Amino acid sequence: MNFSFPFHLDRTILVRGTVVCTLVVAATMLYLWQHMVMVDLGYHIERSRTELAELSHQRAELLVEVASLSSLARIEFMAHTQLDMVQPRPKQLVRVMPASADANDDPEGPLMLAANTLPSP
């Protein structure tokens, strides 16, 4: 087939064109690469956020559970029914005063003891 293109390209133009194209492609690839890195970081941040939210949720759950389990009504009920504990009678409570006068200023206050005057089983 005797067909020719209606203009001429010399090698210099081809080489230059190739170089330009390569640079454009390289720049595009660089742009795409950093975009992909950004997207990947975005996923990473979102995963971290989700993890943080889950951990916060677990923490809230545990705090509510601790608050519920430390209810004084529950503790007193368990002390009475499961451990057979009783309130000390007023006379069973003994306050031990510090020996020295300075020790009266102890911020923790005097030591309280419960004297076991219950009959032996």
Contact footprint for other proteins (CB under 8 A) = 1-6, 8-11, 39, 41-43, 45-46, 57, 60-61, 63-68, 70-73, 76, 87, 90, 93-96, 109-110, 112-113, 115-117
What is the distance between the alpha carbons of residues 111 and 108, in angstroms, rounded to a whole number? 8
Least CB distance to other proteins at residue 46 (A)? 6
Instruction: Characterise 99 by phi-psi region: left (phi > 0), alpha (psi -120 to 50), beta (else).
Output: alpha
Least CB distance to other proteins at residue 71 (A)? 5
Least CB distance to other proteins at residue 107 (A)? 10
Q: Find out whether 113 and 96 touch, Cβ atoms under 8 Å.
A: yes
At residue 91, what are phi and psi to the nearest 5 degrees? -75, -15
Least CB distance to other proteins at residue 13 (A)? 9
| DSSP category for residue 95 | E
Residue 69, Cα to own-chain centre: how many angstroms? 22
